[in-house]
Amino acid sequence: MTRNKKETPELNSTSTADISFLLICFFLMTSSMDQSMGINRLLPPIPEEDTKVEIQIKPHNVLQVLVDGQDRLSVNKKQIDIRDLKLTAKEFIQNPANDPAKSSKKEENIPGVGLVPVSEAVISLQNVRSTSYEAYLRVQNELTAAYNELRNEESTARYGRKFDDLNETQRDVITKIYRQRISESPPKDTRKNR
Amino acid sequence: MAKFTGKKAKKLAGFNTASMGDIVFILLFFFMVTTTMRESEVKVRTDVPKASEVAKLERKDLTVYINIGPPIAAEQARYGTDTRIQLNDSFKTVDDIRNFIASFREGLDEKDRPYMTTALKIDKETRMGIVSDVKEELRRCQALKIMYNALKAE
Average pLDDT over residues A155-174: 87
Is A191 a residue whose pLDDT tops 50? no
Report CB contact under 8 Å: B53, A144.
yes
Sheet containing A37-42: which strands, arranged edge to edge?
B55-56, A37-42, B145-149, B117-122, B63-69, B84-87, B90-92
Contact B126, B58 (CB under 8 A): no
- Cβ-nearest to B152 among A34, A37, A130: A37
Q: Are the Cβ atoms of B140 and A141 closer than 8 angstroms?
A: no
**% of chain B residues with pLDDT over 90:** 6
Say yes or no for a CB contact (<8 Å) between B129 and A187.
Answer: yes
- Nearest chain A alpha carbon to B22: A17
Residue at A3: amino acid letter: R
Which residues does B4 contact at the CB level (< 8 Å), separation at least 6? none
User: Per-residue pLDDT tens for A55-103?
Assistant: 777 888 888 888 888 888 888 888 888 888 888 888 888 888 777 777 8
* Confidence at residue B35, expressed as pLDDT on a 0 to 100 scale: 66
Q: Which residue among A31, A38, A44 sits closest to B149, beta carbon to beta carbon?
A: A38
Q: Which domains does chain B have, with CATH numbers?
A: 50-152 (3.30.420.270)
- Looking at CA atoms only, how far is residue A130 from chain B in angstroms? 5
Does the structure show a pLDDT above 80 at B9?
A: no
Nearest by CB to A43, from B36, B56, B144: name it.
B144
Specify the pLDDT at position A193. Answer: 44
- Is the pLDDT assigned to residue A120 strictly greater than 50? yes
More confident residue, A194 or A118: A118
Between A150 and B153, the higher pLDDT residue: A150
Give the span between the Cα atoms of A132 and A66, in whole angstroms: 13
A192, pLDDT greater than 50: no
